[in-house]
Structure 1
Amino acid sequence: TNETTLTPEIETAVRALRNDPLRIYEFVRNHIRYDAPTYGVKLGAHGCLVAGQGNDWDQAALLSTMLRAAGYATRYATAIVYYDTPRLSRWCGFGGNGDYNDLGGYVFYNGGWPDGFGTGTADGWHAVYAPGGQEIWTGIRRVWVEADIGGQWYTLDPAFAECSVTQATNLASVLSYDRTNLLAAAMQGATTNAAWVRDVNAANLSVELTRLATNLLGTLRAEYDTKGIDALVGGRVFSPEAVTNLPSALPYAEDVASASRTTFDHVPAARILSVTVTYQNIARTFSGYELGGRPLMITHDASASYAPKLWLDGEAVAVGAPTIPGATNALTWTIDQPYASAGWADDSVAQTLKSTNSYVLVYDFGSASRRQSMQAAREFESLLAAGHSPSSEMARLYAMHAAAVGGLEQWKLSSTMLGHIADAICYSHHFLGVMGQEEGYYLDLPGLRSQTLPFSGEASDWETLMKADSFFASALEHGVLEQTQGTNRPAASTIKIAFENNAAGHRTFLADNANWSTVRAALTNYAAQTLSELDARMDADSVILVPENGSISVRQWSGYGFAHFWSQSSGPTWSAAMGMIIGGGYSGGYGGEPVPYSVPAVQNLYVTAISPAPQTQIAATTARDPVDLRTGHLLHQKPTLEIGISPPPRGQQLVLSYSSGEAARPRQLGYGWRHNLDVQAAEASDGAAAFGLRQASDAAALVAAAYVVADLLDENAGVREWTTAALATKWALDQMSQNTIVVRMGDHGLSYMRMPDGSYNPPPAVTTHLIKTNGMFRLVERFGKEYRFDANGLLSSIVDADGNTMSLAYNAQTNLSTV
């Protein structure tokens, strides 16, 4: 295989574009998003298409593959290309204050691009200066596709597009945020000194964060719902282009160094990401394009002396040596990035697995996105539709894979939001870890290599971002487990442990080299091995946020968690690292009960919230059969009964509907079939939606919390700020669990987002309000008609403005029995 391997998904896309090279080029250019400014193939053609994003190497691989599938000859080309520096800066997402002189050494260096200065040649990024000393052009090594169409070679660069970079509005003013007031509220009733704090007032903090989010909500609804969340927090927005002709030159290029130009049919191996999985005589190397976001798993075969099997996309690709039942064995990830600077961002990550259990190997090289999450959900549903029992090992693994992919999407959204708020570029070089089922289920992601690039270039801003980013990444590790399994099955993370330690009345310490001996003596219930680990971590460049109690309980799980920040400067060079460690050696989240991971809970989540019915306010565009042109689903609707004066409650219709998109979902009338009286209100978690993917106002809580956390964790943060920031992060994750109410009305539905003040945010362009009273919902239309639901979320009555009522009753199986 290679980076242009043809897959069914690519074939389908090419066929839908009618094998037309102009349409194919326009599709990649306008519908595949340029992501992080990194160098080399990380996702390949398939991964880029499924994720809907990629760097310029990934986009070139996708375009080349699609054109070859359509019957056209292509080749890659690469050369030093010169661009207007401010335009190039915007393309990377780098705003800055107009001083672009270090764009190459800052953005491109950290993204692994060839360094023209470092090699003493002009073969990598380098600046071109005007006589007055201001940088006007920057030369970088680009890659693109050249295609022979009708006997003429065209120059096709889908990645370099026009865009704008906006910076965040004055959020402190919009929020009415005052750091002193917030800390005063959090410290009411607390006891503290320079090294520790006890009894931070989480209730007061929640009230203050709710106030800030509510202030922001009004502004978002009034000014930003039609503009998008980036208009508030800042960010990079690409402008779609009308493509009427295939180009014969690189767009926006000022010049091309022709002597540096080379061509090739396939990308050299050195420019392709690879990762090796080593476990019990398995040593399998995968390219990034071979993985392409597909499920990667390890099981142990009890019938073969618990020999491990490595699975990729449902097929066994390697078998290891027999293991001893219940023994722990070492798993090692080794990643080789495709960067020009040898060794840059390469990594080796060690974890342990138990020989009687099964695991999802979690990875991401830049594909985390809503489209990737939806793909994982479809794979999970397809597995169940193919006959796998929800209790089977493979069903549990596919459910975990879908959950982990959704968690990676949320991490990317949180990191991006923090970057926008703090005027920075944030992305990850890679994510590596495990989601597994042992005594309980857990998510362990120690292999995060993130990149934060503040526009200011200041080490202090870098430090703030690294801390805040790590806090949210840690909280997501328990948040993802609770979102997919329910808040009644709580999970642990470093952030959750900090919260529970404070709630139990224990002290939280901020230890450094000067006070470590005193702090160490005050710690309780820590094993000697853990104290030795803390000793080894502590040095003159470290601070550690550590709970007093090393045995914090989350249901039946108990353990410790601490945050370790290390930084060191040498001249202009600043280095830092952040670890969020949880007891037992896990760098992630752990379920609080020794129970199996619930597949039905994940199935219900994806059916209800992640891939719900078409939204009522968005009319389906159909053709022929009819087929929904947006989804490709076959639709059918048939009125079967009409009584009285329609609509309800004065009359009634019974309308049957079918959608092939629900063919795997059993309902009262059979797979894929519903009726218009199949109306219910279901509560679920859609963490990604809380970042404003649908409309800006949905993100009120997350924006408020992210701003507060980033503000508190500056370079001067003390124990009060660290602990308050941890509690604020946990509050933010609470807003992402059970945050969605989906009102299903036959073949359509409405999704409402729960706001911190207890109200429910309606979908765009919807005037119907959802109200919760005494645990039951009412859906109130603009002119007074109400849909009332019982405690199980089933429609119990429809009442019009004149008081006319239609009542519905259900049998013990919750099937509609009488109207």
Structure 2
Amino acid sequence: MLLAAGTHAHAAGPITFGNGVPAVGAASPESAGKSGAASPQAREQTPGLSRAVLAPVTPEESERAIRARPLPQVLNPGLAPRLPPSGRTGGAQTAQRVAGDAAPTGPASIPELARALRNDPDLIYEYVRNNVEYVPIWGVQKGPVGTILDNQGTAFDQAGLMVDLLRQAGYTASYVRGRLNLMAAQVGDWLGVDTTNVCAVLNLLGNGQVPIASVTATAAGSCPGSTAALYSIKIDHVWVKVNIGGTSYYFDPSYKPHTRKTGIDLVTATGYNAAAYLAAATSGATVTADYVQNIHRTNIRNNLAAYAGNLAAYLRTNKPAGVLDDVIGGMTINPHSGPILRQTTLPYQDTSVALTEWTTDIPASYKPTLRLQYQGIDATYTSDAIYGKRLSITYNGANQPVLMLDGTVAATGTATTPGTYANVSFTVTHGAYAYTYANQAFTQQIKAGGTFVIGNGWGPVGRGAIERHRARLEDARASGAADTSELALGSSLALLSSNWIAQLVQATYISDRLSRTNTLFHHQVGIAGYNTSPYVDLPGNMVGVINQDANTNKELAAFFTAAMHGSILESTAVQQTSGVSAVSTVKLIDIASAAGDRIYDARAANYASAVQPNLVGCSSWTSTFSSAVSAGWRLILPARCNLTEGGWTGVAYYMIYTSVSGYSIGAIIGGGLAGGFGTSPVSQPVLNSAVLASSWSLDSLTGFTGLGLRDPIDMTKGYFVYAHGDLATGVGEFPHALRFERLYSSGMRNQSAALGKGWTHNLASSASASSDGLQSMGEDSALDAAGTIAETLVSLDLLGDAAAPLTKMVTATLGQRWYGEQLTGNTVIVRNGLNGEVFVRLPDGSYNAPPANSAKLIRNADATYTYETADKARLNFDAAGRIGSYVHPSGVQASFTYSGSDLTQVSNSLGRTLTLTSASGRITAVSDGSRSVQYAYDAGGNLATFTDATAKATTFQYDLPGRMTKVFYPSNPTTAFAANVYDSLGRVQTQSDANGKLYTGLLPNLRTHWMATCV
């Protein structure tokens, strides 16, 4: 199809594209390699990750395909009407950063965010425009609340968020579809891509199925084939119409220019030498045409650690405060800071094209759908209806499967026999795409009687969904919900799947920056389940991979790296969240290689003669292997099919398909399964406790940011915070004097400690090991990601070899196992009072402090930890992670004594002592030997009364366990000194004082407003 772009006074010309041909030559075994024509719907598929290569589409092709696609009669069973949209109503929770995003985050609730933005249409536009990153995919992906959670979204998602906020604020708002006319510079600044290759730009938009009306390049030509630069382009787009004061105005929240960052020379900074690395990996190894054996695992690990160490040293010297994009490259949104916008058309709009207006919701035909079928249950959901929620299957007393959405029953199936296996069928349909090859249908088996959550992700995701499920699990346990309940166990499993999804996205973001690719995540779907042990198995993952230079080898390297990272992350995610070891293809091949097993390169030509006769314990698998190689598949296969890890025994192998035009790679374990499976049993209470202990984010570790107002209220998070010195002995500061101070934060209301829920004290300090993969992928510091960056650099190089030789495949696999190990047990959380600090272990065993923190953490030879402050004070923690001693630089010390888990005494080397008395884990009294203060609790375990050394009482009231509403001081025991009313996210909405003054807070996490009125 030839699409002209008008007349220009330069040597530009139109670009021919279309007719179902990808903009860059397809690199897939399923593309038309035999005919010489590229398939419009080429796919490279693995059991865990599939790649769709989609051709550019015109607006006419797009609309024709969408109109022809039927929708099911019933959508979203169990879902309440979306409008007015709202978020979670439990404890306070905000969105979290996704890969490469440093924008502030808002509350994941439409009503609360609109209120915080003062129901002002200009502030609403500014919030979405300046903070939510654009994803170049046509149609809805995650919906309004999901867009807040991830700070990213398509044009549809961002328009949906803005429309919902405007409607919540009382405005009449609608969605409009029209056309943009953009110059190359605008495209580059918006998408953050190099526009010097017009076909690469078309390839990106084509893989996102964004309708393209016309393209002009610096020279006429066609895609694929042209090497000219982009000059201009017309594409379809969606934005917002709103009535303000009787006039209709238009806002485009998703179009935003960026400032791009250039990364460093990573080969130089790491010291990576491809030839030397491969030579070291094969030192002492046996390499034949049929197998490799004894690949040098130690050399691989030592070299990766050395590269990471070199990079860490470079960063400490040259970019000590650097964030990830400073090192690998990236981009940041240029904020809108101009005058208030009142546009009747967009300045870059093609006004010759009439607008289409949607006055209610975006039509469901523009939304991906997920159909689930199991034992009589047949339910279809749009992506925005389920993302960030808990879609689960449990069983009732009659052994019937029950499908629930966030605890609401959506469907009940036919009775099953506990312990039997049956298929769950999934069908993912991208209704807004003209081509259908990003659609996916697959089945998984589940064992009747267990608990299962349908994990799902749409587009780039971050920590937002993880934190949402963590908060719900914490709420559930605090409310007394059974650990076996769908609410508690389902939240743990939802967190597990969200953790894997987010880590794969973050790992892929890093490989994208290193290979100059853009990976579009169409969907990620599968099961996180529990049957005596947790597992995560998400085989339904569809991506597009687009290189900015139209380099298909780099696209394949990025795709294979993502697929193999996805394998190791499955076993890693289970271990991170549950503490239980798990298996995956990468891990098991590494185990086989370390045991000296041969790793075979099985093909049709050598399988019967050189491979099958040498396999051990594979009798039940030989027919599967034989069929695969006969069909043209290549297998990378350990000699043993009885590989063992803990209580798990089975097989693991890769399947690779090669043709003249590309590859496909599958990672298989066990009976054709792909996932991380726990290798030993773990009870539900232990699992839930482990999940909570290992899923802390910086947000959930911060009880007080230090910026307070009124009595006070944390002005960043909206928590009510309280501090009071109850008893002190000695002169000066700690440890010369000893002081007992109570500390409270409503943000900690679910955390029960020695002074009750929400409370702690200044002498409570601990250090505990944990796991956080996102931290070691550079969530807030480039230095934390030194190991990840080094391994990714090496994997991309090894997997960029078009021949995919066995030696490089196995070498990459062993390196990826090392990478996975850097993501478990990789953090230590040091808690002091209300706040916690996360220290990240680097590959050399040292720990990197949080940003802008000069403290040091040292792991001692006996596995205990020492925390050293900037002024050289040392906190020494015991084997249980409790503070054992504090050593001042002057030599004065304080020692801590415990009885079981109760702190009983703190004494210093100057003879001062505080004695603590406890009952049932609660402090009831503190004494310095001559004076004593008392503490009393209500039936719910809340601190109700503090009685000072003069017998005067301060009392506290709560509306929920741990959530303080009123404080009464002895001077006026019947009138509250401070009275709080909380919003639906658990933040202080209003506070009144004893003088009758009422303060109202607006906290969007971007700006804070407090207004005072007299009552």
TM-score range normalised by the length of the shorter chain:
over 0.9
Match of 2:743 in 1: 657
Summarize the alignment of residues 471-490 of structure 1 with structure 2, pairs less than 5 Å apart: 471-486=564-579, 489-490=580-581
Counterpart AA for 2:768: A
Q: Secondary structure at the match of 2:756?
A: coil
> CA separation of 1:58/1:113 partners in 2, compared to 1, >3 Å: closer, same or farther?
same
**Structure 2 residue 162 is matched with structure 1 residue 69:** no
- Return the offset for 1:529: 4.9
CA distance in 1, matches of 2:633, 2:186: 39
**Structure 2 residue 123 is matched with structure 1 residue 23:** yes
**Structure 2 residue 532 is matched with structure 1 residue 446:** no
**2:625 paired residue among 520, 524, 534:** 534
Q: Do the aligned residues in 2 keep the contact of 1:128 with 1:139 (CA within 8 Å)?
A: no
Match of 1:629 in 2: 715
* 1:706-760 deviation digits (Å, cap 9, x = unpaired): 1111111122332221111111111111111111111111112322111111111
Structure 1: any 5+ residue segments left out of the alignment? 115-123
Counterpart AA for 2:550: G
Cα RMSD, aligned residues only: 2.2
CA distance in 1, matches of 2:805, 2:218: 46
Structure whose CA Rg is larger:
2
Match of 2:193 in 1: 94
**2:148 paired residue among 49, 57, 60:** 49
Q: Do the aligned residues in 1 keep the contact of 2:581 with 2:678 (CA within 8 Å)?
A: yes
**2:321 paired residue among 226, 236, 241:** 226
Q: Do the aligned residues in 2 keep the contact of 1:94 with 1:165 (CA within 8 Å)?
A: no
**Structure 2 residue 99 is matched with structure 1 residue 6:** no
Match of 1:507 in 2: 598
> CA separation of 1:194/1:741 partners in 2, compared to 1, >3 Å: closer, same or farther?
same
> CA separation of 1:810/1:111 partners in 2, compared to 1, >3 Å: closer, same or farther?
same
Summarize the alignment of residues 555-570 of structure 1 with structure 2, pairs less than 5 Å apart: 555-569=646-660
**1:606 paired residue among 690, 695, 717:** 695
**1:186 paired residue among 242, 267, 281:** 281
Q: Do the aligned residues in 2 keep the contact of 1:760 with 1:770 (CA within 8 Å)?
A: yes
**Structure 2 residue 353 is matched with structure 1 residue 263:** no
> CA separation of 1:11/1:492 partners in 2, compared to 1, >3 Å: closer, same or farther?
same
> CA separation of 1:592/1:250 partners in 2, compared to 1, >3 Å: closer, same or farther?
farther
> CA separation of 1:196/1:258 partners in 2, compared to 1, >3 Å: closer, same or farther?
same
* 1:138-165 deviation digits (Å, cap 9, x = unpaired): 1110010011111121111101101144
> CA separation of 1:252/1:773 partners in 2, compared to 1, >3 Å: closer, same or farther?
farther
CA distance in 2, matches of 1:126, 1:228: 38
> CA separation of 1:561/1:61 partners in 2, compared to 1, >3 Å: closer, same or farther?
same
Q: Secondary structure at the match of 2:330?
A: strand
Match of 1:584 in 2: 671
Counterpart AA for 1:322: A
Match of 1:82 in 2: 181
Counterpart AA for 1:639: G
Q: Secondary structure at the match of 1:636?
A: strand
**Structure 2 residue 893 is matched with structure 1 residue 805:** yes
> CA separation of 1:533/1:95 partners in 2, compared to 1, >3 Å: closer, same or farther?
farther
**2:841 paired residue among 754, 760, 763:** 754
Counterpart AA for 2:118: R
Q: Secondary structure at the match of 2:186?
A: helix
* 1:397-452 deviation digits (Å, cap 9, x = unpaired): 21111121122111100011111111100131111111112253221111111221
Match of 2:58 in 1: none
**Structure 2 residue 694 is matched with structure 1 residue 596:** no
Match of 2:1002 in 1: none
Counterpart AA for 2:466: S
> CA separation of 1:231/1:389 partners in 2, compared to 1, >3 Å: closer, same or farther?
same
- Return the offset for 1:64: 0.7
Summarize the alignment of residues 275-424 of structure 1 with structure 2, pairs less than 5 Å apart: 275-301=370-396, 303-304=397-398, 306-366=399-459, 368-424=461-517
Match of 1:777 in 2: 865
CA distance in 2, matches of 1:139, 1:539: 48
* 1:226-255 deviation digits (Å, cap 9, x = unpaired): 3421121122322222254024166662x4
Q: Do the aligned residues in 1 keep the contact of 2:197 with 2:550 (CA within 8 Å)?
A: no
* Deviates further, 148-157 or 715-724: 715-724
CA distance in 2, matches of 1:99, 1:2: 45
Counterpart AA for 1:99: N
Q: Secondary structure at the match of 1:538?
A: helix
Counterpart AA for 1:28: V
> CA separation of 1:193/1:259 partners in 2, compared to 1, >3 Å: closer, same or farther?
same
* 1:322-345 deviation digits (Å, cap 9, x = unpaired): 112222111111111133314241
Counterpart AA for 2:157: D
> CA separation of 1:376/1:225 partners in 2, compared to 1, >3 Å: closer, same or farther?
farther
Q: Do the aligned residues in 2 keep the contact of 1:796 with 1:807 (CA within 8 Å)?
A: yes
- Return the offset for 1:393: 5.0
**Structure 2 residue 807 is matched with structure 1 residue 709:** no
Q: Do the aligned residues in 2 keep the contact of 1:439 with 1:595 (CA within 8 Å)?
A: yes
- Return the offset for 1:537: 3.1
**Structure 2 residue 587 is matched with structure 1 residue 496:** yes
Q: Secondary structure at the match of 1:258?
A: coil
> CA separation of 1:816/1:215 partners in 2, compared to 1, >3 Å: closer, same or farther?
farther
**1:553 paired residue among 630, 636, 644:** 644
> CA separation of 1:194/1:87 partners in 2, compared to 1, >3 Å: closer, same or farther?
farther
CA distance in 1, matches of 2:535, 2:808: 29
How many positions carry a matched residue from both structures? 795
CA distance in 2, matches of 1:767, 1:352: 50
**2:238 paired residue among 130, 143, 151:** 143
Percent identity, please.
Answer: 27
Q: Do the aligned residues in 1 keep the contact of 2:84 with 2:168 (CA within 8 Å)?
A: no
Q: Do the aligned residues in 2 keep the contact of 1:559 with 1:582 (CA within 8 Å)?
A: yes
Match of 1:39 in 2: 138
Match of 1:205 in 2: 300
- Return the offset for 1:459: 2.5
Q: Flag the structure with higher helix content.
A: 1
CA distance in 1, matches of 2:775, 2:338: 32
Q: Do the aligned residues in 2 keep the contact of 1:43 with 1:367 (CA within 8 Å)?
A: no
* 1:435-494 deviation digits (Å, cap 9, x = unpaired): 1122532211111112211122232222211111111000000000111122xx311000
Summarize the alignment of residues 151-166 of structure 1 with structure 2, pairs less than 5 Å apart: 151-166=246-261
- Return the offset for 1:627: 1.6
Report the TM-score, using the length of structure 2 for normalisation. 0.75
CA distance in 2, matches of 1:251, 1:227: 37
**1:687 paired residue among 773, 797, 811:** 773
Q: Secondary structure at the match of 1:778?
A: strand
Q: Secondary structure at the match of 1:267?
A: coil
* 1:490-515 deviation digits (Å, cap 9, x = unpaired): 11000110111112110112334443
CA distance in 2, matches of 1:281, 1:152: 52
**2:269 paired residue among 159, 166, 174:** 174
Q: Do the aligned residues in 2 keep the contact of 1:279 with 1:320 (CA within 8 Å)?
A: yes
CA distance in 2, matches of 1:541, 1:270: 38
CA distance in 1, matches of 2:486, 2:357: 47
